[in-house]
Amino acid sequence: MIANDLVFDTAKTLMEKAAIEIPQDYHEGLKRAAKSEEGDLSSFVLQAMLDNYEAAKQDRSAMCGDTGVPRWFVKLGNEAQLEGGMVALEAALRRATAQATFDVPLRPNRVHPLWRTDHNNNVGIGAPEIEYGFEPEGDWIDLISVHKGGLFGSDYRMLFPSDGMQGIKRFYLDSLMAFGKRGLACQPAIIGIGLGGSKDICMTLGKRASVLRTVGSKNSDPRIAALEDELTALGNSIGMGAMGFVGSNMVIDCNIEVGYCHTGGMPMSVHAFCLSSRRAVARIWPDGRVEYRTDPDWFTPYQRRETVDWHPLREAAE
Amino acid sequence: MKPREIRLSTTPTPEAIAALRLGDIVYLDGLMYTAREGVYIYALEDKANIPMELPSQSAANFHCSPAARINADGSFDMGAVTATASFRFAKWLPEWMEKTGAKLIIGKGGMSSKDYKSYFVPNGAIYLSTVGYGTGALLGRGVERVEAVHWNERLGLAQAMWVIKCNKMGPFIVASDLQGNCLFERENAKIAQNIERIYEGTKPAVLKRYGESDDRADEVI
């Protein structure tokens, strides 16, 4: 049984880590970008970002004053048991979100869409979002804290099979051009692309591709992995860098996730994570062990399964 | 070429402002206040009395909501500070500048050269952009102390008017000058030369969207 107090304490720690500590994979990616960048202003900006990550860690201060919108992804092993059940889990995550907002402090960004009511704790109707995934084996749970920034960096479009690969590239470029100018996308960023699914799932896939996959990760389908590389290079060939200044670093990595869609359509979404790429992960075991990491490892073979039933051995053999 | 680095007062002289060039890096000293839509609406539309002497105390308006808290004893803790996108405030800025004498508008993304020419230049004001938009921890180091928070009960922490004492706060980038030139438009124009090359071979989407056709009598197919 996984203790509810442990879920609360771990969740609070994750909120702090996500806000303050740059994940290593993105940090390495940005260092490579800073090394290759030749635009004088873009170069200055990237160096300032690297200095900022150090300042945040030393001062235990949030990397960015806009601390984004905190949300949760929870992955449960099939044998995981939670003290108080799922309702207690959700209560712990909501309490941790409110407490960490005060403790770190984070910016209380969450308001009612119409009345602009602000509870000053990032909790409200539907906030924080809590999404779930499951794995066939294990008695652990993974808590993933993401504080998504980049208010301007996302878009959706219903494309069709006849739009083809060139249509995908065009919408991708349109999104980068639209939101890259003046740096509204907070680039260079991890760009996530969702292809397929229904409209809502298309957005979900793209968002998860940007926030739950690390720099350097590859889609398990080699042809999609090749497209990820091609789109990364394409984005960096625009001639636009950090803050929309002349430069050659727009995309630290492009991640694509797909889902089966209606036979007549090819919906696509584009999402930019931001310069702070805030994510932190912990695995909690029933014996009280907690292991922290920064790779959500969300997209396992089980999450990407195509078959009616789950036959891990057969899938592995294929 | 490395950009120039300059220290500037938040109550700058006209000469100091005139000496700034697009792309210069600026660090600020003195009092700065945050004001965004909540403050603009309350002060300009609801005609509330602004609780500071402007511009003598500060001529620097930061488009910002800090990550901060007010403790039970009334003291303040401010961590990271980061700007929010300024183009959304164009509606209120001309009146605000006239009323408060603001000379430095600090935020994210800048405004258009049309905005600069029509009301920044006549007011002797320029725009400073935060860097990368994520250097909140660095900017936080430039906060010597929080002097006051106004209107937080009415507007909430994010929209309140925070008064910050800055000590070498930065970096910021000069994004407009007294001729009304716009740094971002200059960069956009350079990047625009690549558009034809990178779009080569792509074609418009099969299904259009309104906005791509502005004639609402058109079909989108």
Q: Mind spelling out the 3-state secondary structure of B35-87?
A: CCHHHHHHHHHCCCCCCCCCCCCCCEEECECCCEEECCCCCEEECCCCECEHH
Residue B53: predicted pLDDT? 96
Please list the residues that pair with A258 across neighbouring strands: A195
Q: Is A184 on the interface with B (CB under 8 A)?
A: yes
CA A283 to chain B, closest CA, distance in angstroms equals 28
A270 confidence band (pLDDT: 50, 70, 90): very high
Q: Taking CB atoms and an 8 Å limit, are B191 and A234 in contact across chains?
A: no
- Summarize the confidence of residues A220-226 as an average pLDDT: 98
- Which tokens sit at A135? 């794995």
Residue B5: predicted pLDDT? 96
User: Quick one: what percent of chain A has pLDDT higher than 90?
Assistant: 92
Which among B65, B79, B34 is positioned nearest to A110, based on CA atoms?
Answer: B65
Region class of A270: left (phi > 0), else alpha (psi between -120 and 50), else beta:
beta
Between A41, A51, A104, which is nearest B79 by CB? A104
Q: Taking CB atoms and an 8 Å limit, are A65 and B79 in contact across chains?
A: yes
Lowest pLDDT segment from A133-137, A293-297, B135-139 = B135-139
| DSSP symbols for A203-218 | HHHHHHHHHSS-TT--
Nearest CA in chain A to B183: A245
CA A210 to chain B, closest CA, distance in angstroms equals 18
Helix (H, G, I), strand (E, B) or coil at A231: helix
Q: Please, what sign has the CA dihedral across residues A274, A241, A217, A301?
A: positive
Residue A240 C-alpha from the chain's centroid: 23
Nearest CA in chain B to A234: B198
CA B217 to chain A, closest CA, distance in angstroms equals 21
The one-letter amino acid at B79:
G
Q: Taking CB atoms and an 8 Å limit, are A173 and B136 in contact across chains?
A: no
Region class of B109: left (phi > 0), else alpha (psi between -120 and 50), else beta:
left
**Which residues 1-60 of B have a C-beta within 8 angstroms of A?**
1-3, 23, 25
A314 confidence band (pLDDT: 50, 70, 90): low
Residue B215: predicted pLDDT? 77
The one-letter amino acid at A91:
A
B177 confidence band (pLDDT: 50, 70, 90): very high
Q: Taking CB atoms and an 8 Å limit, are A52 and B132 in contact across chains?
A: yes
Q: In sequence order, which residues have a C-beta less than 8 Å from that of residue B166 and are 6 or more positions away?
A: B10, B28, B29, B30, B31, B32, B142, B143, B144
Residue A180: predicted pLDDT? 93
Computed over every residue of chain A, the mean pLDDT equals: 95
* ipTM greater than 0.85: yes
Give dist(CA B114, CA B169) in Å, integer: 28
Nearest CA in chain B to A61: B79
Helix (H, G, I), strand (E, B) or coil at A182: helix
pLDDT higher than 60, residue A315: no
- Sorted by where each begins, the domain ranges of chain B are 5-199
Q: Taking CB atoms and an 8 Å limit, are A166 and B203 in contact across chains?
A: yes
CA B97 to chain A, closest CA, distance in angstroms equals 23
Other CB atoms closer than 10 Å to residue B213's CB: what's the count?
12
Q: Taking CB atoms and an 8 Å limit, are A118 and B195 in contact across chains?
A: no
Q: In sequence order, which residues have a C-beta less than 8 Å from that of residue A113 and are 6 or more positions away?
A: none
Nearest CA in chain A to B212: A174
Is the separation of the CB atoms in B163 and B113 below 8 Å? no
Residue B35: predicted pLDDT? 96
Q: Per-residue pLDDT tens for B54-100? A: 999 999 999 998 778 888 888 888 877 888 889 999 999 999 999 99
Give dist(CA A8, CA A91) in Å, integer: 9
Residue B218: predicted pLDDT? 77
**Tally of helices (H runs) and strands (E runs) in chain A:** 8, 9
Q: Is A183 on the interface with B (CB under 8 A)?
A: yes
Please list the residues that pair with B145 across neighbouring strands: B165
Q: Taking CB atoms and an 8 Å limit, are B135 and A181 in contact across chains?
A: no
Give dist(CA A239, CA A248) in Å, integer: 5
pLDDT higher than 60, residue A316: no
Residue A318: predicted pLDDT? 53
- Which tokens sit at A302? 């089980």
CA dihedral B51, B46, B161, B123 (to 10 degrees): -80
Rounded to a whole number of angstroms, the CA Rg of chain A reads 20
Q: Which CATH architecture has domain B5-199?
A: Alpha-Beta Barrel (3.20)
- Which tokens sit at B80? 């990271």
Q: Taking CB atoms and an 8 Å limit, are A170 and B132 in contact across chains?
A: no
CA distances B87 to A49, A128, B36, B147, Å, are: 23, 28, 11, 27
Lowest pLDDT segment from A139-143, A283-287, B133-137 = B133-137
- Sorted by where each begins, the domain ranges of chain A are 4-18+63-148+279-309, 30-59+150-275
Q: Is B204 on the interface with A (CB under 8 A)?
A: yes
Q: Is B94 on the interface with A (CB under 8 A)?
A: no
Give dist(CA A108, CA A66) in Å, integer: 9
Q: Per-residue pLDDT tens for A102-151? A: 999 998 999 999 998 989 999 999 999 999 999 999 999 999 999 998 67
Is the separation of the CB atoms in A248 and A236 below 8 Å? yes
Give dist(CA B77, CA A107) in Å, integer: 12
Q: Per-residue pLDDT tens for A56-94? A: 999 999 999 889 999 999 999 999 999 999 999 999 999
Helices (H), A65-114: 85-103
Cβ-Cβ contacts under 8 Å, A40 against chain B: 1-3, 23
Is A313 exposed, middle or buried (CB count within 10 Å of its CB: 0-12, 13-18, 19+)? Answer: exposed
Give dist(CA B46, CA B44) in Å, integer: 6
